[in-house]
Each structure stands twice: as C-alpha cells, then as structure tokens.
Amino acid sequence: MKQTLFLLSLAFLSFSIAHGLNPNRCDLPNQGSTLQVFHVNSPCSPLRPPEAMSWEDTVLQLQEKDEARLQFLSSSLVAKKSVVPIASGRQILQSATYIVKVQIGTPSQSMFMAVDTSNDAAWVPCSGCVGCSSSVLFDSAKSTSFKSLDCQASQCTQKFQVSNPKCGGNTCTFNMTYGGSNLLANLSQDTFTLATDPIPGYTFGCIQTTTGTSLPPQGLLGLSRGPLSLLSQAQSLYQSTFSYCLPNFRSTNFSGSLRLGPVGQPKKIKYTPLLKNPRRSSLYYVNLIGIRVGSKIVDIPPSALAFNATTGAGTIFDSGTVYTRLVEPAYVAVRDAFRKRIGGSATVTSLGGFDTCYTVPIVAPTMTFMFDGMNVTLPQDNLLIHSTAGTTTCLAMASAPNNVNSVLNVIASMQQQNHRLLFDVPNSRLGVAREQCSS
Ligand SMILES: *[C@@H]1O[C@H](CO)[C@@H](O)[C@H](O)[C@H]1NC(C)=O
Ligand SMILES: *[C@@H]1O[C@H](CO)[C@@H](O)[C@H](O)[C@H]1NC(C)=O
Ligand SMILES: *[C@@H]1O[C@H](CO)[C@@H](O)[C@H](O)[C@H]1NC(C)=O
Ligand SMILES: *[C@@H]1O[C@H](CO)[C@@H](O)[C@H](O)[C@H]1NC(C)=O
Ligand SMILES: *[C@@H]1O[C@H](CO)[C@@H](O)[C@H](O)[C@H]1NC(C)=O
C-alpha cells in the first residue's frame, strides 16, 4: 500500500515536473516574513494568459502596458501640464507583472496581488464589483474581521498619492486613475496575512467599480512610502525595510522572493542614497550619475539625469514598469553608444517600441548604471531580449514616451531581475546585489 502510494506520487511528481507545474514550487510553505514572488505569466500564476502568446505579442503587450505605467508615474509631476492620453487603439490586457499571494480576512481568502513600489495604497476587487476583470473577488460578507471605514475615520482625512478620499453616503471612498483605468473603492479594513504575519485592521480599497482594463486583476499591494502603504501600516513589524528578488520573466521554473522587515536581509550589498522628491514623495528616487557602455562613459546631457525637486525630474526604481525608460536625450546617447559597440556591419531593425534590434548574432557590450556610491553592471540577461526562435535580439530599453511629462528615468523590472533590491527606508538607502533567484 505504502509503496503504491509512493509510486503514485512519484508518477505525479514526474508528470508535474515534465509539465513545469510542480505544485510544491508554486506553493512553498511560508517562512517567517518571506513571500514567493511570481511573474504574472509563470505556470504558478493564476493570472497567466489562457493561451501562450507569441514572443512578439508578449513583448508588444508589455511595452503598451509600460506606456500606461509611465503615464501613471508621471501624472501630477508637473501641475500645470495636462497629461495626454496614450494613443493606442489596442486594449491593455494585463497590468500586474509580479505578484504575491496575500491572505485577506477571517477565514482568509487568497488574492494574488501585484507588488508595486510606486503605489502607496492597497486595493482588491470586491464582490459585486462592476467592471472588474477577475472572477476571483474578495467577498467581504464572508469575513468576520471586515469593516468599512466611515467618513470620520482618520484614514479618510489622509491625502494619499494622486487621490483624496471622499464621503459617499457615510462610506469613505476613493477614486483614482491607474494607467488607462479608473477605480472607485470603499476604504475598508481587514486582516492581511503576509507569509506567516497577520496584520489586523489593514486599510485598503475594496473596489466597487472600474473602467478600463489595466488594473491588476486580483488587486495591488502598495510598497511605496506613502501614508497608506504597507511600510506605514506595518511600521512596527517591518520597520520600513524590505527586499525582493524578481525572477527572470522567461523562466517558468522559479519564483523570486519578497522579504519583509530587517531580519535576514543581506549584509554584503552596495548602497546608493534614496532621495525624496516633494513632487512625488512616495516614489523611490535615486541619483543616477552616468551610464557606461563597455568601459566608456556615455556623454549624456547632465540635465537628462539631474534630480530636480521643482520639476520632479530624476531617476526612480520601479517594480511595475517592465523595460527601463530613459528621457530621450539620455536614451539616444546610450543607444548610439551601444550600436557603435556592436559595429557598423550589423543592420539595426526595430520591434514595436524597441529601436535597437538585430537579426544576426551579436556580441553586446556590458552596461553599467553609475549611481551615487554604487555602480551596477548589468549582465546580458538584463539587457537583451531574444526571440523564442533566437532570430531577433533587442536592447530591452526605450526612450520615455514623449506624450507625457517626460522627466523621469525609470529603472524597470527587466533590468532588476536576478538582483536583490533592498529598500532600507530608515537609513534612506537602496541596496543592489546580484542574486540568481531564477535561471
Ligand atoms: C472618478 O473620477 C473620474 C475621473 O476624474 C470621474 O470621471 C468620475 O465621475 C469619478 N467618479 C466618482 C464616483 O466620483
Ligand atoms: C461600498 O459602500 C457602499 C455604501 O455603504 C455599499 O453599498 C457597497 O456595497 C460597498 N461596496 C463594497 C464593494 O464593499
Ligand atoms: C525547468 O526544470 C526542468 C526540470 O528540472 C528543466 O529540464 C528545465 O530546463 C527547466 N527550465 C528552465 C526554463 O529553467
Ligand atoms: C529645476 O528645474 C527648473 C525648471 O526647469 C529650473 O529653473 C531649475 O534651475 C532646476 N533646478 C536645479 C537644481 O537644477
Ligand atoms: C563607478 O565607475 C566609475 C567609472 O568607471 C568610477 O570612476 C567610480 O569610482 C565607480 N564608483 C564606485 C562607487 O565604484
């Protein structure tokens, strides 16, 4: 009997491995304050598209998503300029890039929420939601610890990021724009359990209505520095410290990790100071001084990289943008240096928003982002994307879109993957170290 069971489970295990769906990998036992991080297209992700998309479609879709993201990041940076809607007839299907499993309520309901370092609040699609794309909704009626906040609640008077809570009846609501979408949510509270840590009375938005298709389907967990972010709400537990390692988006086998709190963080890591820009005080700004292609420092106009509290200009690290975007003068200089190193004989082609692609094998130079006190040299996996067939290779970076208030350089997830990023807010510093959390 025992042997049969053993053989059966062995057979199941080999089946699972052969199909890349090892259930153990997708649901490792929770350890302390560390959560598994999945790419949205990973076999472990319930949000993955039903049919595998072609490489070109995946790339193009992620780029379109980034355009909406850049618009969100740049909104309200410059008060007087209006934000031009992104010109695109195509629908943005997915917005979350990296997700974690969060348990909400009592008894708990699992939601795969997007990890977003540039958002302060958390929001979840709730039962009865009009316009939500997800079939998995949080059913507040089934949770004994759920509570809607009324207009007198102190959280209702707080200003957070781009939206101010309002009173609707006696329910506190907030209305915000995210990418091309709009959401209306009731400000609510319930227990959020992250790995093994229950956080009672977590304040979040219970989404009632959405328009557009760019919201993460099962909600979003804000990790920025705003008053309603996880850092603020779990200040005593995590002391505004967290780190993550994002798995490679082509790797189906591995998950990354999100480690909350100061315990277990790397000791040997290079740091650069975190800056706070009053224009968008919750974003994680750093001082990018220059970029090296190979051994040569690229000649970039200093104004393209300079931190400016008046305009909101500067460089941020963001978990929600896929491909690094540099303001045009910086991007053009870096791209030209990169092309020059590849050599003149290889013909440059484009793919969607990528303008530096090759259909012949290339030997790419390294690229080093030089921050105040820290140089980060990116390996080729963080720099190039290759088509499935191996016939096209593109430099996985682009110019910031010109139709928004283009002052932000965004160091995005493709360039961060297989690195540990340590956000040490109490000491105002951001650490970066190589870590192979996926192959
Ligand atoms: C939410 O904001 C949008 C855009 O500003 C607006 O069109 C909509 O009417 C607002 N909805 C509510 C319920 O306030
Ligand atoms: C939001 O609050 C309103 C007013 O109290 C209520 O009717 C509605 O059901 C709530 N929606 C959700 C999703 O909790
Ligand atoms: C995933 O794991 C399987 C079995 O261990 C291995 O054969 C395969 O190459 C791995 N795939 C990737 C993309 O690492
Ligand atoms: C910031 O930008 C404003 C407007 O372009 C400019 O007048 C100011 O000199 C800049 N400040 C710094 C410190 O560069
Ligand atoms: C980064 O690289 C530059 C140019 O090679 C060098 O001058 C600088 O000292 C390096 N900075 C650090 C912190 O290592």
318 noted as active-site residue: yes
Indicate whether residue 427 lines ligand 4 (CB < 6 A). no
Ligand 3 centroid from CA 332, angstroms: 37
| Average pLDDT rounded to a whole number, residues 3-17 | 40
With b for 16 or more beta-carbon neighbours within 10 A and e for fewer, the 39-74 pattern comes to: bbbbbbbbbbeeeeeebeebbbbbbbbbbbbbbbbb
Residue type, 275: L
Report which bound ligand comes closest to the CA of 251. 3
Burial status of residue 83 (CB atoms within 10 A of its CB: 0-12, 13-18, 19 or more): middle
> What pLDDT band is residue 96 in, cutting at 50, 70 and 90?
low
Taking CA 69 as the corner, what is the angle to CA 289 and CA 26, rounded to the nearest 5 degrees?
100
CATH homologous superfamily of 270-434: Acid Proteases (2.40.70.10)
Please state the domain extents for the chain. 11-50+82-260, 270-434
Protein residue closest via CA to atom 7 of ligand 2: 171
The residues that bridge with 200 in the sheet, in sequence order, are: none
Would you state the pLDDT for residue 301? 95
Percent above pLDDT 70 for the chain: 85
| Average pLDDT rounded to a whole number, residues 246-260 | 82
Task: Name the nearest CA neighbour of 376 among 321, 426, 315, 332.
Answer: 315
3 state DSSP class of 253: coil
Q: Is the dihedral of CA 384, 386, 390, 391 positive or negative?
A: negative
Q: Name which CATH class applies to 11-50+82-260.
A: mainly beta
Report which bound ligand comes closest to the CA of 20. 3
The residues that bridge with 275 in the sheet, in sequence order, are: 285
Percent above pLDDT 90 for the chain: 54
| Average pLDDT rounded to a whole number, residues 100-128 | 95
Does residue 162 have a pLDDT over 60? no
Does residue 225 have a pLDDT over 50? yes
Selecting among 116, 190, 355, 424, the annotated active-site residue is 116
* Per-residue pLDDT reduced to its tens digit, 386-398: 887 778 899 999 9
Ligand 2 centroid from CA 208, angstroms: 7
Q: Give the C-alpha distances (Å, rounded to integers) separating 5 from 8, 22, 413.
A: 5, 18, 42
Ligand 5 centroid from CA 373, angstroms: 8
Would you state the pLDDT for residue 156? 82
Q: Are 204 and 122 in contact (CB under 8 A)?
A: yes
> What pLDDT band is residue 342 in, cutting at 50, 70 and 90?
very high
Going by C-beta distance under 8 Å and a sequence separation of 6 or more, which residues neighbour residue 265? 241, 243, 259, 422, 424
Distance CA 156, CA 154 (A): 5
Lowest mean pLDDT among 56-70, 242-256, 265-279: 56-70
Single pTM value for the model: 0.88
Residue 423 C-alpha from the chain's centroid = 14
Which helix (H) or strand (E) covers residue 325, if one does?
Answer: strand 324-326
3 state DSSP class of 287: coil
Ligand 3 centroid from CA 424, angstroms: 34
Backbone phi, psi, residue 256, to 5°:
-95, -160
Measured between alpha carbons, how far apart are the two ends of the chain, in Å? 38
The mean of the pLDDT values for the chain is 84
Distance CA 416, CA 364 (A): 18
Residue matched to tokens 């039962």: 127
Report which bound ligand comes closest to the CA of 39. 3
Indicate whether residue 22 lines ligand 3 (CB < 6 A). no
Task: Report the nearest atom of ligand 2 relative to the CA of 186.
Answer: 1
> What pLDDT band is residue 311 in, cutting at 50, 70 and 90?
confident
Distance CA 139, CA 8 (A): 37
| Average pLDDT rounded to a whole number, residues 307-331 | 92
Asked if the bond preceding 107 is cis, omega within 30° of 0, the reply is yes
116 noted as active-site residue: yes
Ligand 5 centroid from CA 109, angstroms: 48
Q: Where does residue 133 fall: left (phi above 0), alpha (psi -120 to 50 degrees), or beta otherwise?
A: alpha
Backbone phi, psi, residue 280, to 5°:
-145, 80
Going by C-beta distance under 8 Å and a sequence separation of 6 or more, which residues neighbour residue 209? 129, 130, 131, 183, 184
Distance CA 129, CA 137 (A): 8
Selecting among 66, 190, 318, 424, the annotated active-site residue is 318
Distance CA 74, CA 419 (A): 26
With b for 16 or more beta-carbon neighbours within 10 A and e for fewer, the 288-305 pattern comes to: bbbbbbeeeebebeeebb
Does residue 18 have a pLDDT over 60? no
Does residue 19 have a pLDDT over 80? no
Q: Are 286 and 273 in contact (CB under 8 A)?
A: yes
Q: Do domains 11-50+82-260 and 270-434 have the same CATH topology?
A: yes
The residues that bridge with 95 in the sheet, in sequence order, are: none
Q: Using only C-alpha atoms, what is the Rg of the chain?
A: 22
| Average pLDDT rounded to a whole number, residues 221-228 | 91
- Best residue among 78, 275, 310 to mutate for probing ligand 4, ranked by most atoms within 8 Å of CB: 310
